[in-house]
Structure 1
């Protein structure tokens, strides 16, 4: 055999070998693609990609089990315990699981299964890799809520700040006229300080309430234990309770885990405990307990205080409402604390209930969806 024929044979053999290798690689790749399409698991990297997306995005399988979700979907309280919480989105996902692209524009949904807050959203559900459904949700009501908050804020400020501002002016005049009387100067200065503190408290709480209403969802969500927020809220009230000889007792399923904004939840519990201490007699007890019930965590604050009538219970969460107007004003109460609690709990997809009777005390109970820990550590 000549040298040229040998070289030709070697070249044909090399080409054939490369073709066989490429064929094997293609077959293996096709097998991997087919396995991904028929597998019940998401393709590698998809879960991580979805978790990093802005906005509310999540993927479910054909049984509507949530396999991946973005931070935005959790902030809007669309999901809980690995399932979709919003009936309208469940229906859309079911239709998409049958191979249809489904869109709905500018319709209202409730935030979470218990919250009375609503969202105006646009949603789209579409099939993904034949075995999954991709759902995207856009909150369309943000600008309207912000506009409403601005109007309410102006109305609240003009109404509620009118009295303390007038008081500060009158006290300043009285202080000037009493310049030659040290005792009267001291008296008016103390009252001026008290009114200034009250004015500052009202302003801070109005801003806090407006922020809660305007943001819709809260910002810093994380997995947290019930014990961590109860312990911190109790610590913030321990000095006042000790001064009144009131015992603060906590117990129950404190190892339960919820997903939310730790700082805001502490504010909510702090307000409830502070109210309980404020309206309780000396040498009494305030109890804070937690229990799991139907995928929710219930945290109850119970006091042995003066209690409320049925009419007061119906209005207790209204902004600036005070069950005891004279006593609340004299002690710096703004009438915003319980309204703030209601908005914080609602923004976590939960609700708040109250039981009370005159002379028998009150029990405020908040319910928030329990978080799925998936074996991960939670913050203490």
Structure 2
């Protein structure tokens, strides 16, 4: 009997324990999960520290004796701080700022700039009070480069305009001296006309280049037929080619299209054609071909002229750069044609490529994104055909 009671009590205990366990589990499931404790919010000092190290400016805080109290990694990259010490020029500026209490600008550019990056660094030194100062340095290499480019451009433009203006003045004096000689007047008058035409072309191309480099808003892009660009460009260059005894050899119409501005593309291709005519030998030919290559429309202008030496091939697209200044002046070139081509293509999302070999000739290729993918048959380049 006692054993039976013990067994019954044990069974009851197991049942009660099971029921209590299930009830506890249900309560645990029903209870909302505890959320993790929120991370502590950063203090103002933490945020300032983050800004100090994240800025693109080189920052350094100096004590009264120009010791570096605090600096960021950018200060080391810019050469403001090296081996834990401040640049001596910044230290001298900091001492003056501490003495006068006024902010001071200082040039911290590398003294030996050959191959150094950055090539130009300028800094502002400001007092913080209690004998401390902060130095803020910035990489100004690009600003200096642009300023040098602008200064060179203005100097080149002044020189290029001065030449025809001076020549026209001298020729006008010659006309006045030869007023009684109709033949001399006619001869000098023709030269004046040529110089004025040259100056007009230069001004026109300067305006075009200014427009392309952002001084004016470019027109809206539209669907342009490459065949129309080629035909109009050939028509523009026809007189120059006939005068030089140059024949244009052109492939068959392609049906290719691009998104762009018709007149700008015609201007670019015309410049390539005029350039090919100017640097080709008499009675030579200039080939024009178009094709589709991997969703890029290519228009190639090939001459059999004097070619371009390898050391000049990267510079021919610079403003006013001439491989042969004497020849360029003789042909009336402004030195801006290829620069205009480069900017027209860049504004259309394309590029211009050059292949050349001295004594063999040159090929300038305009590459533009195709307006739409064409079939394989259309992509095949057409055979070179008749003469225009």
Distance 1:338 1:307 in 2: 15
Q: Which residue number in structure 1 is paired with residue 173 of structure 2?
A: 173
SS class of match (2:333): coil
Q: Is the 8 A contact 2:295 2:372 kept in 1?
A: no
CA distance in 2: counterparts of 1:208 and 1:149, whole angstroms: 18
2:304 aligned with 1:311: no
Q: Which runs of 5+ in 1 are unaligned?
A: 1-145, 375-380
Equivalent residue, structure 2, for 1:205: 205
Offset, 1:180:
2.9
Alpha-carbon distance in structure 2 between the residues aligned to 1:293 and 1:191: 47
Equivalent residue, structure 2, for 1:347: 347
Q: Aligned partners of 2:270 and 2:254: how far apart in 1?
A: 16
- Please give the alpha-carbon distance, in whole angstroms, between the structure 1 residues aligned to 2:232 and 2:149: 30
Asked if the contact 1:198–1:332 (Cα under 8 Å) also holds between the matched residues in 2, the reply is yes
Deviation at 1:282, TM superposition (A): 2.7
Unpaired runs of 5+ residues, structure 2, are 1-145, 375-388
CA-atom RMSD in angstroms: 2.8
Cross-structure match for 1:162: 162
1:302 equivalent in alignment to 2:313? no
The secondary structure found in structure 1 opposite 2:169 is helix
Q: Which has the higher contact order (CA 8 A, sep 6+)?
A: 1
Contact 2:258 2:370 in 1 (8 A): yes
Query: CA contact under 8 A between 2:297 and 2:367: conserved in structure 1?
Result: yes
Give the equivalent residue in structure 2 for 1:31: none
Distance 1:244 1:193, change over 3 A: closer
Contact 1:355 1:364 in 2 (8 A): yes
Deviations 1:286-336 (A, max 9, x none): 111112112211111101111111122121111112222112212211011
Maintained 8 Å contact 1:251/1:289 = yes
Normalization by structure 2: what TM-score? 0.55
Match of 2:266 in 1: 266
Change (3 A) 1:282 1:292: same
Contact 2:250 2:287 in 1 (8 A): yes
CA distance in 2, matches of 1:217, 1:347: 11
Mapping 1:49-198, distance limit 5 Å = 154-198=154-198
C-alpha distance in structure 1 between counterparts of 2:296 and 2:302, whole Å: 19
Q: 1:217 to 1:152 in 2, by over 3 A?
A: farther
TM-score by length of 1: 0.56
**Structure 1 residues 356, 149: closer, same or farther in 2, change over 3 A?**
closer
Does residue 238 of structure 1 match 2:238? yes
Which residue is equivalent to 1:290? 290
Q: What is the distance in 1 between the residues matched to 2:357 and 2:246?
A: 20
Matches of 1:373 and 1:185 in 2, distance apart?
Answer: 60
Tell me the alpha carbon deviations over residues 60-86 of structure 1, each in whole angstroms, 9 at most, x when there is no partner.
Answer: xxxxxxxxxxxxxxxxxxxxxxxxxxx
What is the number of residues matched between the two proteins? 231
Provide the C-alpha distance between the structure 2 equivalents of 1:222 and 1:213, rounded to a whole number of angstroms.
20
> Counterpart in 2 of 1:225?
225
Q: 1:269 Cα deviation (Å)?
A: 0.5
Any conservation in 2 of the 1:149–1:213 contact (CA below 8 Å)? no
Shift of 1:163: 1.3
Judge conservation of contact 1:217–1:347 (CA < 8 Å) in 2: no
Q: CA 1:169–1:268 in 2, change beyond 3 Å: closer, same or farther?
A: same
